[in-house]
Structure 1
C-alpha cells in the first residue's frame, strides 16, 4: 500500500458522501495504491450510516472506517487512524470539506521529488470567520514562539508524511495541533506548500475560541518541555551484528 488517507469525522453526516466522491476523483488518475481510513469520533448523527454506505458501495474496498464508542477528540481519532493505516505514506484531511483532496497527489509528488519526510500545507487564502482567522494567527504565532518555528500553519490538516514520522509520537489530547513540531523534534525533514481552503458548505464547526485557542496555548508548554528535553543520536556501529 502506497498511501493511506486518514480523515477524522465528528457529526459530519452531510459532508461524508460528497467528500468521499472527491477523494475518489482526486486519486483516480494516480498510480498510487491507496486507501481512505475514516475515523468516526463517536458521532451522534448519521455519520456512521454514511460511512457504511461509502464503504459498502466501494467496489475496490478502498474506503474503511473505524467507530469510537464515544467522542474522544480529534487527536485520538488521528492516533487510531495512523495505527490502522497500511500505507507507506499517510495523508490527512479534515472531514468538514474545507480541505481539497486534489492537493494530496501534488504533496505526494513533492515529497518524493525533493526527498522530504513531511510536506505540510498552509492555507494561503482562508475561508473562515474573522474570529477564527485571528485566533488561528495568535495560536500559530505563540506556538512557534514557545516550541520553535517549524511551519507557518500548524493548524492546516492537508499534509503528507512517511508513516515512520508518527510511529513513536506520545499520545495526548492536543496532539493534532503539534504534528509538524513533534515530527521535526525527531529529526525528520519538513517543507510546506500552499494548499486550497474552502468555505464550510454543510454542518457546523466544532471549534471556537474557548475550546481551540486557550487549550492550544496551554498545550504549547508541554511541547516546549518535550523540545527542551529531547535527545538525538545516530548509531554508527553494532558489534557483533544483531541477527533476526
Structure 2
C-alpha cells in the first residue's frame, strides 16, 4: 500500500528530544488511520542532530530525511519538505513534542472539506512570557492577514500537498500557512488539540523573534498577497 500522508518534522538542534520524538512517531505510524511516513528536515543543526537523524532514517523504512548544509530557518525547511512530498496529504509537527503526532487524528476527519486544518493550543503549557509574546505576535498577524485563527503558529497542521506546493517561499513562512491557503480560495478550520510542556532541550524563540520578526514578515506577506497569482487548469490535451 502506498503512503497517503507525510508527516514533516523540521529539526534544529533538538538532539535531546529526538529519541522520544522517534518513539512517538513510530508508535503513531502503527495506529494512524492513513498509511503514513515521516520526512525529517535538519535545518543545519550544530549539535549532532543531523547524523542522529540520518542513522535513524537508514534503519527505519518509513522515515526519510533532508539535511541542510547550514541553518536557513524553519520556513525554508518546510518549503523544501513541501516540494519533496509525494503523498496527497501532508502534516507538520515540531520536534520538541509540545504537540503529539497522535493528535493528527483529531484533524484528519476534516481535511477533505478544507484546504488546511490546524490545531489550536487552547490550554498552553508554556511560560507566561512565551504565552504573552505568542499572543502578541498572533494579534499582529491577524491584523495583517485577516485569517481570524486563534493560534496561527500552532505546529500541528494538515494540508493538501497540492496547495502546500503553491505556497511561495519566504522567511517566516510557518507563521502564514493558514493565510497562504486562504489566498488560494480554500477554506481553513481550527481544531482544539492537546499541548504539553517541553521536556528536553530549549526553545529557539524569544520576544524578539516572536514579535519583531513576525511584524517584519507581515510586510512581506502584504506584498505577496498583492502580487500572488493562482490558477487552475480545466483541461490539458496532447
TM-score by length of structure 1 reads: 0.90
CA RMSD of aligned residues (A): 1.8
1:47 aligns with 2:45: no
Matches within 5 A, 1:30-109: 30-58=32-60, 61-109=61-109
| Residue number in structure 2 paired with 1:243 | 237
Output the CA distance in 1 between the equivalents of 2:109 and 2:30: 15
Output the CA distance in 1 between the equivalents of 2:144 and 2:9: 28
Deviations 1:84-120 (A, max 9, x none): 11211000001111111110123112223xx212111
Aligned length: 236
Output the CA distance in 2 between the equivalents of 1:38 and 1:123: 23
Output the CA distance in 2 between the equivalents of 1:53 and 1:232: 40
| Residue number in structure 2 paired with 1:202 | 200
Unpaired runs of 5+ residues, structure 2, are none
Output the CA distance in 2 between the equivalents of 1:62 and 1:194: 28
Q: The residue matched to 1:144 in structure 2 has which SS?
A: helix
Q: The residue matched to 1:160 in structure 2 has which SS?
A: strand
Contact 1:6/1:91 (<8 A) preserved: yes
Output the CA distance in 2 between the equivalents of 1:63 and 1:242: 35
| Residue number in structure 1 paired with 2:224 | 226
Specify the structure having the higher radius of gyration (Cα). 1
The offset of 1:131, in angstroms, is: 0.9
Deviations 1:134-175 (A, max 9, x none): 111111111111221341111101011100111121111111
Output the CA distance in 2 between the equivalents of 1:242 and 1:70: 40
| Residue number in structure 2 paired with 1:146 | 144
Contact 2:97/2:198 (<8 A) preserved: yes
Q: The residue matched to 2:16 in structure 1 has which SS?
A: helix
Q: The residue matched to 1:169 in structure 2 has which SS?
A: coil
Unpaired runs of 5+ residues, structure 1, are none
Contact 1:17/1:54 (<8 A) preserved: no
| Residue number in structure 1 paired with 2:130 | 132
Deviations 1:157-212 (A, max 9, x none): 10111001111211111111111111111111111101111111001111111122
| Residue number in structure 2 paired with 1:17 | 19
Question: Bigger shift: 226-235 or 144-153?
Answer: 226-235
Runs of 4+ in 1 over 4 A off after TM superposition: 228-235
